Amino acid sequence: MKLEALPRRRYTPHPTPIQKLDRLSKHLGGPQIWIKRDDLTGLAGGGNKTRKLEFLVADALRQGADTLVTVGAVQSNHCRLTLAAAAHEGLKCRLVLEQRVPGSYRKEASGNNFLFDLLGAETLTVLEGGSDLSGAMQAEAEKLKSLGRKGYVIPGGGSNALGAMGYVVCAREILAQCLDMGLAFDEIVVASGSAGTHAGLLVGFNAANAGVPLTGLNVRRPRAEQEGNVHKLAVEAAAFAGLPAPSRDSVVAFDDWVGPGYSIPTDEMVEAVRLFASLEGVLLDPVYTGKAAAGLIGLARRDHFKPDANVLFVHTGGAPSLFAYQDILAS
């Protein structure tokens, strides 16, 4: 289906800005770092999932759903934004949370855990890591059906072919902004997690023959596994939108800054979060953008980029979860 013909809700009324990070660039001695502020998308607190939900929620409404059902990790930004979209549309929302780190869910925790309650989750089911998450979501959908209601199941991160359309659109937006600004990027860097953002950007840039490398910074899995996941979803998303599929060798997702595991803090993440905050007034999160920014800084220190290169960091949001990591991040 052509992208322009897809039903879409609009939660962000304008393109998110691209800004230069002069002080951070000077601190690192190059490259010239720019940031795409997708932490400033619409809904509660913003973030990359907002773009995916524009297409997913439109599909839910088209199908007559009255309840969104989705899954995420403890402190999930995706769950926060899905709840916000549900509230905005007058829908109910049920969450399934996975404890990817054993014992990590605490009802009284701040950050997104607090917002799940504030935004009005109808039910919240907490499962151990490795559980059948798809089965758990389908079970919620069956419960709704037995009550005469209709659920719409959204995969983790909103990362399916339809959700990835949000970042095919974002790739077009970035290229249009570059044209307006007279700016050409030598490389674009983004966090790579559930794969929808990474895959969507890859499809969008590839379809436009943009010729700019897209580098993913993995936050969870070994490199080969993550690159396989991203390429698989990119091929599905390209087919869905009737666009050419990116090649396998165009998929890069470095795993050097994952650390001990998903959401587990690292010294490099703490440094990155504090540098972006103190030098540029930009808030990252500890799980996704903090580790991706640690990778960006690490690549700069390894001379991966030329000193005068223009590098765009796509900020995928997540700042509300900072408040659950105060003991780690405070000086």
Q: Output the pLDDT for position 187.
A: 98
Q: Which residues of the chain have pLDDT under 70?
A: 1
> Does 131 qualify as catalytic in the annotation?
no
pTM of the model: 0.97
Q: Is the distance from CB of 160 to CB of 124 less than 8 angstroms?
A: no
Q: Output the pLDDT for position 104.
A: 87
Q: List the catalytic residue out of 76, 194, 263, 321.
A: 76
How many C-beta atoms surround the C-beta of residue 208 within 10 A?
Answer: 15
pLDDT in tens, 243-276: 999 999 999 999 999 999 999 999 999 999 999 9
Domains in the chain, CATH or no CATH each? 3-47+160-329 (3.40.50.1100), 49-158 (3.40.50.1100)
Q: Output the pLDDT for position 1.
A: 64
